[in-house]
Structure 1
């Protein structure tokens, strides 16, 4: 009898423990399954968003016309301060893409030979020739020669077809946060609200942003940030190319379109050949290039052409502005870098917001663009020779 009771009690205890354990595992199993389903759903939704973005972008590639071919001789003259222990120089390298091809790249230094290390920064994938020179004595010249073919790009954007995308794949996070520097301008929020009030359609808001920049900024290379600072344009209502595009780029992000600043070289004989443009992702057209500062300068020039009647002047200026609005990149501009605030490789001594042509530092102190005869400065020079019997009118890109 005692044995029987013990067995029943033991059975009841074991059954109770088993029931509690089963309940705990059941709850845990439901939680895990629910989390897995939620995670899977989120991943599938993200993949679906990314698939849609990729597919729509692929359907509307720009027309590539008027291929130009150039032989480029780009030079940098630097002079580190006396008794510098180490001079470091980063020279950005223009990439080969489906819209441009670069080859036959060579580097030479004078008066002494120094070999570069080729590096790539991790954020945007920009590439550099990196020079590290111990105990530099006197001025240094770095010569970079290469051949390039560049296609003219025409997107033909129809803004009635641009999607009001509510969410973007995670890969676009880098291009969606408005530049915090804009908050230094007291009227920034007011202007953004003014732009967004024109329509519920984001594409029309972006058209208004382009119009606002064109109507309110004046090109001025002396009163400029040189760092794509959106606050500079808002505060001073003046600036150079990067101020125009830094401001319009942060407007685009406020509206809901990813954006990024581009820097490249103009294919002309110039002392300072760098020039900035803006890229905005406009589904289904993908990344579309805009150049607001050069468009404004050219439109003003055409509107003052004394050789034309007033009606024709206006017609030409309107055409140039519309061409830019439709998405246009000329074949005399070579893309070099994308983005801002990326870490150089090897790491620089301090943060670098943007690189226009080169970045250099002596014992951790940045050199300034100026006259190379002065210590602690650098300057650039470029000579370009157009190649081919029918300059700027080739039928296909090299290797395509």
Structure 2
């Protein structure tokens, strides 16, 4: 592909034009190969943020990102495949119980996951708190485990949508992360390239989510569903609330512990509700509408699948969870009802404790995090524990304490919170 200049493509989008298929193919390929410079792609990303893209432009941009690398062939897997993607939140450990649960019901789940950044946690960071567990698998290992176990959670290989890896890092430092066309194409290029037959999207809405408004979340969900459908992937999206953290833990090892509680038939009601809702959507999309995920939690099949999955990647499912060196309990100063628990601030508190990272190369603490003793709607007595702060380094606790304190509202009454399930888009 030749005959184009990056500056002409930038100008076309800057001035509100529609990029041609040939322009899109060329600029994505040339950027991946290093022929378009970072500063030029930065300018184009900003133009896309400000000017937007049409549906056909987004579809072609996504196709070009997929074409930049390999597309996995899962035809050797002898069951229907279904995957889930969450746009990220606080306490969002759903992938951990969901993947083995869906596998226990007869589908295969090729879950390529990422690491946390800022206030949102990363699935790989959580699982790496299990001794021996490894995130990196070769394509052959990935497909073999999918065939033999039915469940795999791992990092995406270098050859899967490499254009996205390069562009994602650039967006992160140029103020263009929020561009819906670029979010949608980033997520969907990886999910389509991994070869899944069905995909369920969990699009979070609220203070702890990337999308703060239902309208923005709906636009992103609709864009991604259309992209998946156009590429032959049965795709559905659920809009779910992220104004309050999911479950009662925010961190790495603490979220693994809570996920295991769910797999054992217990766990917080909101985590169980969302896990089951997504499982039903995945199983239906995979052509298994009669499967009963609730029964698989109850009878131990989901737990068996979890243990097999963890062992297959070198982990010890019986290893004790890492413990933090410092724990501080924060108690209520007055009676009332917990009427607010801001997800974003709790996420920042967890990050300050060491559970998250500011840059991709930063290490994270397996044991750090926040354990919530009260959730919105719970009655509170003066002196009762509201939450625990856990850290390896005691110097991290004061800043986290300040952030968490600002997240909590105790009132005389509570009018009820936002429902967990907001909308379904197919």
TM-score by length of 2: 0.22
Q: Which has the larger helix fraction?
A: 2
Greater strand fraction, Structure 1 or Structure 2: 1
Query: Which structure has the larger Rg?
Result: 1
Higher relative contact order (CA 8 A, sep 6+): 1
